[in-house]
Amino acid sequence: MQKLLIFPSIDIKDGKTVRVVQGIPELGCKEYGNDPVEMALLWRAENAKCIHVVDFDYSQKKNCGNRKVIEDICSAVVIPVQYGGGVNSCEVAEELINLGVYRVVIGSLAHYNPDEFVKIINKLSPNKVVAAIDVMNDEVVVSSRKVGTGLKPEEYAERLKQMGAIRFIVTDVSRNGMMNGPNVELSKRISEVTGGKVTLSGGIGGFRDLLYVQDVSKEYGIDSVIIGRALYENKFSCQKIWRLAESGIF
């Protein structure tokens, strides 16, 4: 059975670990600690094999104040760290890789400046880049999920594929941080169009949801999931997640 890779998510705002409603800070956020590095170490101690980090300060205001935090996380955990949040040029992507980030997530840039997106893929390699597809009401949204593109998810995914993307994070924004169940059908649609590797983001509310995604993962083309709020609010034992994964039961 295909095993899911689980990305604990660390969202950083004002130097603190937060969870943001639907990934849109204006809708509200809740703090989960003053030290994102300690949070990363916690997930590593729980045997996480990778971490997903979002920098809301850079995404929203192009404030580089969290760069040292990002670097410290990469140095502390010695596992792959995936970064998302406002990457808007090849230079920024390279800077993050030089800080120790394993893979960068590209969202709005791919829509507004496809040539720069292609440049990043060619410079870093397709394996170092993830294309983010954020969807609200079956429309791709960009600019911190505030602007509709008029594009269907499949149409946008096909464009990204033609530009060289091979890995995608697919987020149903309406479910992000809501713990009301994952939208696996959306991920399946992207997988079918691209033939690429899909990370499901949004909606995981507990262990049952995770088991469900695991059960359909091969058929639906999902190889990994990002989990945030459900982990922080102890909706399942995180040790149990990775122990089962490593034993081959899960």
The 3-class SS string of the chain reads CCCCEEEEEEEEECCEEEEEHHHCHHHCEEECCCCHHHHHHHHHHCCCCCEEEEEHHHHHHCCHHHHHHHHHHHHHHCCCEEEECCCCCHHHHHHHHHHCCCEEEECHHHHHCHHHHHHHHHHHCHHHEEEEEEEECCEEEECCCCEECCCCHHHHHHHHHHCCCCEEEEEEHHHCCCCCCCCHHHHHHHHHHHCCEEEEECCCCCHHHHHHHHHHHHHHCEEEEEECHHHHCCCCCHHHHHHHHHHCCC
The Cα 160–Cα 197 span in angstroms is: 13
> How many domains, the chain?
1
Give residue 1's pLDDT. 52
Tally of CB atoms within 10 A around 214: 18
**DSSP strand pairing (139-142 vs 147-148):** antiparallel
Known catalytic residue at 138: no
d(CA 114, CA 61): 22
pLDDT at 250: 38
Taken as a whole, the chain contains a residue count of: 250
> What is residue 249's predicted lDDT score, i.e. its pLDDT?
40
Residue 143 CB coordination number (10 Å): 14
The CATH number covering residue 17 comes to 3.20.20.70
Active-site position among 55, 57, 134, 209: 134
* Catalytic, out of 11, 55, 172, 209: 11
pLDDT, position 206: 87
What pTM, to 2 d.p., does this model score? 0.89
The predicted pLDDT at position 31 comes to 72
pLDDT along the chain (250 residues), means of 10: 85 85 52 85 90 94 95 96 97 98 98 98 98 97 94 98 98 79 95 97 90 92 92 70 49
Residues contacting residue 240 through CB under 8 Å, at least 6 positions apart:
207
pLDDT at 232: 83
Containing structural domain, residue 108: 5-247
Q: What is the pLDDT of residue 183?
A: 95
pLDDT at site 241: 57
Q: Is 11 an active-site residue?
A: yes
Give the pLDDT score at 233.
81
